[in-house]
Chains A and B, each alone.
Chain A
Amino acid sequence: MAPPPSGPTQKDTASSAAASESPAPAAPAVKAPPPETPTAIRRRSYIVLSFWLLVVFLGLPFWWKTTTIYRADLPLDRMLEWADGKACRPAIPIQIAVHADSLQEEEANHLVRLAQHAIDDLNDFSGHHLRLQLAPRQDRPREGEHNPKSALSIHLKPGDATTAALDPYRAALDITYPLNSVPPLHSASSMLTTYIATELRSTFAEEQSIVSYLLSASSSPTSKPAGLSPAVIEALEKRATRALRYAPTYHLTFSLFTDGPAPTTWDIDTAINEYMKPLLDVLGPIHNFTIDTQVQLYATPGVQSQTLTKDDLASFINAAEWPLSPSIGGAPTINFLTFIGNQTIGFPDSEGQTSQSWMIPQWGTVYLLSQPDTNSHVPKDALRQPMLTFGGHLLTLLGTPQSGSLPLRLSSLSRIRSADLLLRASDTLGSLARLSRSLPSIAIPRNVADGVAKSIRHLEEACASLGSSEALYHARIAEEEAERAFFEKSMVGQLYFPDEHKIAVYLPLLGPVTVPLVMGAIKEIKRLLQARKQRAQEAKEKKSQ
């Protein structure tokens, strides 16, 4: 666009004080434009007004509505109370029913009272206490199932010497006592009560130490729980690292891997039904299980040597090639792997692993099954030992205490899990509360608040019913809700969004738009003020005339 030869002319200099109404015929190069007509001025005001009306009446409400951060009210103090353990002192009462049908009513009462005293004297941890209770007399005590509320029942029977034996099939402790050891009324202590107390204490020792470990770990992760020896703590830590995180459902994968073309079939279905199913059924109230199986031929392990050393065990699983998916359908997977081969393990006496199998913490178990190459089928009987091993390891992987009879271990597991979940849910709530305190700009959707409320309600119920079977149910829901609230997707996205970012978001687009808008408005306001002044002046002049 070349300039015309007539030289530059200047337009729109906005100086309305131009004197020349009619342009001179031979004007010099620079001349002021004529003043704007009133219609043009009015028109410009309208245009500026139309833009500003849009900004004020539509733009600002939209801005307000779309960028305000919705923060649902969270009961922050209450959540922190839970996290600090102030809202609930977890105390697991364990009811123990004493069946002493051979004793007199008064004698039995006295015995129970004395034994309770003895237990209380021994116990130094308030989170876990045993309560003895005399069971109502029954005509046929052996058949009477123990009260569902009580975790253990003691059957006192007269005998030759003081002995104690855990019933392997029921949560029951059979104690025999010589007749003369029954404490006479009004006596302060006796051999028998002390014996009962120590026996009970040793039965529940592991559970108690686990609970005390959990509680102390949750209140302050660095401090060691009081009253536990380092060896016990080490064992507890080992248990904690081995066990999988609690989940309502676990997925069990039974795999048969072989490095050759055989075997191609195995009787896994009947083997599971026969050896695993009973165990899974008793675990039913605590966990659900889903099961799948697979057979893989020509699977080369990560280690080829004939004798496996301790280091080899870690790398035996060929994670790159073996189709062991980490998780199917959300539930954590526990792998039980039977490997057909003639490899052996170098050190049979190490803890937790026999000469043929070893457990991989939080993952599963490998069992080396040697079998003649010609067999193309693995019969049920050959799978018996692997299955029993898997069953034992499954309990360990689920975090079941090691000592005691199976029913006792399971009820203990459910109590430990409910305490664990309770603490974990409280911890999550505390983290959420701290997060929302420290980030005032984070959005908190309504469903987070709902989740927190639900979680707290179930926490309260779980806390009140600790030790019973509902506690696990409530604690499970509380933990689920707390986790869901904490990991709400729309919150996580805005976890870090400082105010400087907002400038970067708004300015590039809105800056250029705002400048002409604001300048236009300022010009208009200036002109209005000037016009008013002028009018006032004119009015004054008129008056003075």
Chain B
Amino acid sequence: MTFRGKAGIYAIAVLLRLVLFFAFPGLPDLLTGRVEISTPVTSFKRLEEGLFLYNHNVWPYDGGVYHQAPLLLPLFSLLPDSTSWPIFTPLLYILIDLLSADALVKIAASGEAGKSRLFTSPRQGKGSTGLVIAAAFLFNPLTIASCVGRTTSVFTNCAILCAIAKAVQGFSFHAMVALSFASYLSMYPVLLLPPLVLLAYDKRASQKTSVLKFSALNVLVVAGCLSVLLGMSYALTGNSWEFLARTYGIQLTLTDLTPTVGLWWYFFIEMFDSFRSFFLALFWLHLASYVGGLTIRLRTQPLAALAVLLGIFSIFKPYPSISDASLFLGLFSLYTHLLPLMRYTYVASATLMYASFLGPAFYHLWIYAGSGNANFFYAITLVWSLGQSLLVSDLTFAVLRDEWEVERPEMVGKEAKQI
């Protein structure tokens, strides 16, 4: 991968985004309003509302609309006024996208996907180059849409990718700080801690310290970082912990039932009130239950565990958007060398395309045309989740099969139904 190639790709990506931002002035606001892109906890519109209140010395959560982390407010109020200088917000988002792509390039460059400390894939080196991976991420329509739609999940994604990039480079402290930022912004990334710690441990120059000691140290770093961030938020929101209920509380209790591409909103609209809290706990446990099993099973390939977990989160988290899918697809492209082992790539990609074209149409039928109902949109989000889960399970299958073929070399090329 040449420097020039990289710079070229980045330049084209920046140019494409700038064109989308400024040649079509209505586009950013249109995308901001789409439920597929903006969820109640990541929407830019809601951020602007919070920002307005914050700049007028009103407690930002008073409007009942803003549910995002408090520290985003000073960041955005530092930018020059968006009405008179509309260039800066797009530039910030483009920069974040480039940072994410750069992190992906670093991950790809480390070759962690093909060869980890405990495992070397026979297909090592057959994967895509960092350039292709960066391009696949930057020119992914989902990534572009979430960038132009200016959702704040872009920041979370960037923090997660940076955390992984730092971990594969062996800088465990930096990785933990980046993960703390991601967790602070969206809460769910804290579940990535176990595989990330293992990844950082595997990548350290020496394994003199035990895993337990290393993990404890890193957990302490994350806890310290998070408490600093939360403490700053506490000071920022007028010395009250009320913001916790308005940000993470919303995600935990799903009080805002705005439709998203996920599975929660419809389920909790239909839920009996008396069982609501039980099923909320159940859904969250379901989300968390994958962490232990996958980390243990994919102990030899923590990066694969991270990729699969991110895929699962983008299906089952409370307020998913296509931005989460774009993060998963970015990590998925690291595993192109396993594509021959996958069985349902065609079905999965066709399903995803089908859902992404029909989703907006069905939403229009439901909300604007009035000729459909909520079931239309929910059905298409089910298809979307089905496509994603096919992809996730297929990736898991391929990773395991890759491992299995090392154990059982005689089975290479033969069909396996189950591993």
Contacts and interface: CB of A to CB of B under 8 A. Distances in A.
Bound pair (A, B): yes
Interface of A: 1, 3-4, 6, 9, 11-12, 23, 33-34, 37, 43, 46-47, 50-51, 53-54, 58-59, 62-63, 66-67, 443, 490, 493-494, 497, 505, 509-510, 513
B266 to A, nearest CB: 14
Given A11-B418, A47-B296, A54 B288 contact: yes
Contacts of B415: 3-4, 9
A14 to B, nearest CB: 11
B417 interface: yes
A54 B343 contact: no
Interface string B275-294: 10111111001101100110
Contacts of A62: 278, 281-282, 285
A67 B289 contact: no
B253 to A, nearest CB: 12
Contact of A47 (B274, B278, B293): B293
Give 6 closest A-B pairs by Cβ, nearest first: A50-B292, A62-B281, A66-B278, A66-B277, A47-B293, A46-B296
B415 to A, nearest CB: 5
B282 A443 contact: no
A46 B298 CA distance: 12
A349 to B, nearest CB: 58
B289 A54 contact: yes
Nearest to B407: A37
Contacts of B275: 66-67, 505
Given A12-B417, A54-B292, A66-B280, 7 more contacts: A46-B296, A47-B292, A51-B293, A53-B292, A62-B281, A66-B278, A67-B274
Contact of B281 (A12, A47, A53, A66): A66
A511 to B, nearest CB: 13
B285 A59 contact: yes
B33 to A, nearest CB: 32
A181 to B, nearest CB: 75
Given A1-B343, A51-B292, A63 B416 contact: no
Given A1-B343, A51-B292, A54-B289, A9 B414 contact: yes
Contact of B273 (A51, A53, A493, A509): A493
B35 to A, nearest CB: 24
Judged by DSSP, the binding face of B is: helix
Interface in B393-413: 407-408, 410, 413
A490 B272 CA distance: 12
B299 interface: yes
Contacts, number: 71
B297 A47 contact: yes
Nearest to B267: A509
Interface centre among B278, B288, B419 (most CB of A within 10 A): B278
A386 B419 CA distance: 92
Interface string B284-325: 011011001100110100000000000000000000000000
Nearest to B292: A50
Interface of B: 272-275, 277-282, 285-286, 288-289, 292-293, 296-297, 299, 343, 407-408, 410, 413-419
A12 B418 contact: yes
Contacts of A58: 285, 288
Contact of B278 (A11, A67, A494): A67
Given A66-B277, A493-B274, A50 B282 contact: no
Nearest to B415: A4
Contacts of A505: 272, 275
A495 to B, nearest CB: 11
Judged by DSSP, the binding face of A is: helix
A54 B288 CA distance: 9
Given A11-B416, A11-B417, A54-B288, A34 B408 contact: yes
Given A34-B408, A67-B275, A51 B289 contact: yes
Nearest to B294: A47
13 contacts: A11-B418, A12-B418, A12-B419, A47-B292, A47-B296, A54-B285, A59-B281, A59-B282, A66-B275, A66-B281, A443-B274, A509-B279, A513-B286
Nearest to A45: B296
Given A50-B292, A62-B285, A493-B273, A23 B418 contact: no
A497 B296 contact: no
A245 B419 CA distance: 74
Contacts of B273: 490, 493
A220 B410 CA distance: 89
A518 B289 CA distance: 15
A43 to B, nearest CB: 6
B296 A43 contact: yes
A32 to B, nearest CB: 13
Contacts of B281: 59, 62-63, 66
Given A66-B278, A493-B273, A494-B274, A6 B293 contact: no
Nearest to A48: B293
A348 B273 CA distance: 58
A462 to B, nearest CB: 35
A490 B285 CA distance: 26
A390 B277 CA distance: 55
Nearest to B416: A11
A11 B405 CA distance: 13
A130 B416 CA distance: 99
Contacts of A43: 296-297, 299
Nearest to B299: A43
B194 to A, nearest CB: 10
Contacts of A6: 414
Nearest to A12: B418
Nearest to B281: A62
Nearest to B293: A47
A12 B407 CA distance: 14
A62 B286 CA distance: 13
A4 B419 CA distance: 17
Contacts of A46: 296
A183 B371 CA distance: 93
A364 B417 CA distance: 80
A1 B394 CA distance: 13
B144 to A, nearest CB: 33
B91 to A, nearest CB: 44
A497 B343 CA distance: 46
Nearest to B291: A50
Nearest to A59: B285
Contacts of B280: 66
Contacts of A497: 274
Contacts of B419: 11-12
Nearest to A2: B415
Nearest to A53: B292
Nearest to B289: A54
A61 to B, nearest CB: 9
Contact of A50 (B279, B296, B414): B296
B118 to A, nearest CB: 11
A221 B278 CA distance: 44
A218 B280 CA distance: 47
A3 B410 CA distance: 18
B389 to A, nearest CB: 14
A11 B414 CA distance: 11
Nearest to B418: A12
B404 to A, nearest CB: 9
Contacts of B416: 9, 11
